[in-house]
Amino acid sequence: MPAVDGLQERVRKLGGILDVAKALVAERDLDRLLKLIVLAASRVVEADRCSLFLVDRARNELWSKVAQGVGTREIRFPMGKGIAGTVAQTNVPVNIPEAYADPRFNAGVDKETGYRTKSILCVPMRSLEGEVVGVLQALNKRGEGPFTDEDEELLSALGGQAAAAINNVLLHQEIEQLFEGFVRASVVAIESRDPTTAGHSGRVARLSVGLADALPRAESAAGKWRGAQLSNDERQELRYAALLHDFGKVGVRENVLVKANKLEPDELEILRGRFETLLAQEELNAERRKVQVLLEKPKKAKALMAEIDGQLDARRRELTGMFEFVLSCNRPTILPEGTFDRLGDIARLTYESPISREMRPFLREDEVVKLSIRKGSLTETERREIESHVTHTFRFLQQIPWTRTLKRVPDIAYGHHEKLTGGGYPRSLKEPQISLPTRMMTISDIYDALTASDRPYKRAVPKEKAYDILGDEAKRGEVDGDLLRVFIQADVPGRAPEEP
Ligand SMILES: [Fe+2]
Ligand SMILES: [Fe+2]
């Protein structure tokens, strides 16, 4: 029964289109999607070759990277030109049994490729809204005869599915580009707040992703992580977390963020002014004493005045020495033992205020606290303020409605200053609570902080020394030793590809 056979064949082909439609929806890569559509189209209408042209509305052109028989070079031509251009413009299918008999046919491509076009079926790919997204063109029906009405119907049905899938992918790409742009803008915001850390976010992202990529190749060196691998989505999640990990610095006061020495520059100027006043007072006193000597003991005046000058010189040296000592305490170096005794001694000295005539200490309480910082340049309060950047980062990232595949970004970033021993901040998490991506980022963050020559008062540490410092941290159980081994053996800093 030929009628039944024909019906069965039609059902089979329609079923085939449904299968293809399912595959198309799942594809996220535009190039692969276009190839898939072209293959399906050739199969459905039994064509020798198929091409797919997309409409570029901005340029009023059609373009293609997928035309069977002409390689993968990009082809572009104006809307309305040739058969595909006409179909795109008119939104009406064209079915030509004999190409060379049709004036719209351009034989140029045949000449170029040595192909002989006979029959052509060209249909618009319409979106659900009826807009032409592109054109599907089938060449040379296999076997006898031209393309049939049924072919036209089937190819149009496939074109509709393809248009929906293409729109999906393009929308997906737009969302990704939008998000990428937003992340980049945020990085600019962080780095303009703290210009001394310029490039840090990008470098931490590069190293973190580089470490993630090196892990599956590391085999036995990966230790407990042997066989572990981040999926593409997890890799992107780690990358965004790394790019944004220090965003919370925008919530930390700028002078604390860029503080180079223990006293702020204006605080140091006040202190300098005090020492200068003191010296001026000593000089004035000496002059007064000299006048007194001249009046009261003119005979011994010369010897007594020389004595006064000598005392003044000694006092000058003493005060200058004290100020130089204060200057040395102001720098963020590690201070030797006994330093604080001398600071205390100086603080206990007093001078008379030239305005209120009150006796005041040489160094105020808050100045002593700042100058006595044992390591670095930050007081306890300032250190806590800087540390709060992690919590600010987390709060900021939590505001973003992350997609399902990126929902762990805030958590990954939240843990970047935690230590596996529980000695990190802000939550003092312990080993089991710290995820693999966070551990990767922590190593990358420490490495970059050590090796970047980004601060005028901080010397960059060479790679080997940075590895040693990280090695010590791993020995103390603070950072992940297995990941550090992979980081070093795979030479992640030297080999990881640059951030896009
Ligand atoms: Fe940080
Ligand atoms: Fe950082």
Ligand nearest the Cα atom of residue 452: 2
Instruction: List CB-based neighbours of ion ligand 1 within 5 Å.
Output: 246
**pLDDT tens digits for 78-116?**
999 889 999 999 999 999 999 999 988 888 878 888 889
Ligand nearest the Cα atom of residue 394: 1
Q: 230 C-alpha vs ligand 1 centroid, how far in Å?
A: 23
Q: 241 C-alpha vs ligand 1 centroid, how far in Å?
A: 11
Ligand nearest the Cα atom of residue 200: 2
pLDDT for position 193: 80
pLDDT for position 482: 97
Q: 175 C-alpha vs ligand 1 centroid, how far in Å?
A: 28
pLDDT for position 409: 97
Q: 463 C-alpha vs ligand 2 centroid, how far in Å?
A: 17
pLDDT for position 500: 82
Q: 404 C-alpha vs ligand 2 centroid, how far in Å?
A: 25
Q: 406 C-alpha vs ligand 2 centroid, how far in Å?
A: 20
Q: 384 C-alpha vs ligand 1 centroid, how far in Å?
A: 12
pLDDT for position 407: 96
The rounded average pLDDT for each run of 10 residues, N- to C-terminus, in the chain (500 residues) is: 75 80 83 88 91 93 75 81 92 94 86 89 92 94 90 92 90 90 92 81 96 94 93 96 94 84 89 89 91 90 91 93 89 73 85 84 88 83 92 96 94 97 96 97 96 72 95 97 97 91
Q: 201 C-alpha vs ligand 2 centroid, how far in Å?
A: 7
Three-state SS letters, the chain: CHHHHHHHHHHHHHHHHHHHHHHHHHCCCHHHHHHHHHHHHHHHHCEEEEEEEEEECCCCEEEEEEECCCCCCCEEEECCCHHHHHHHHHCCCEEECCHHHCCCCCCHHHHHHCCCCCCEEEEEEECCCCCEEEEEEEEEECCCCCCCHHHHHHHHHHHHHHHHHHHHHHHHHHHHHHHHHHHHHHHHHHHHHCHHHCCHHHHHHHHHHHHHHHHHHCHHHHHHHCCCCCCHHHHHHHHHHHHHCCHHHHHCCHHHHCCCCCCCHHHHHHHHHHHHHHHHHHHHHHHHHHHHHHHHCCCCHHHHHHHHHHHHHHHHHHHHHHHHHHHHHHCCCCCCCCHHHHHHHHHHCEEECCCCCCEEECCCHHHHHHHCCCCCCCCHHHHHHHHCHHHHHHHHHHCCCCCHHHCCHHHHHHCCCCCCCCCCCCCCCCHHHCCHHHHHHHHHHHHHHHHCCCECCECCCCHHHHHHHHHHHHHCCCCCHHHHHHHHHCCHHHHCCCCC
**pLDDT tens digits for 371-417?**
888 878 888 888 899 999 999 999 999 999 998 999 999 999 999 99
Ligand nearest the Cα atom of residue 449: 2
Ligand nearest the Cα atom of residue 391: 1
pLDDT for position 203: 95
Q: 367 C-alpha vs ligand 2 centroid, how far in Å?
A: 29
Q: 445 C-alpha vs ligand 1 centroid, how far in Å?
A: 7
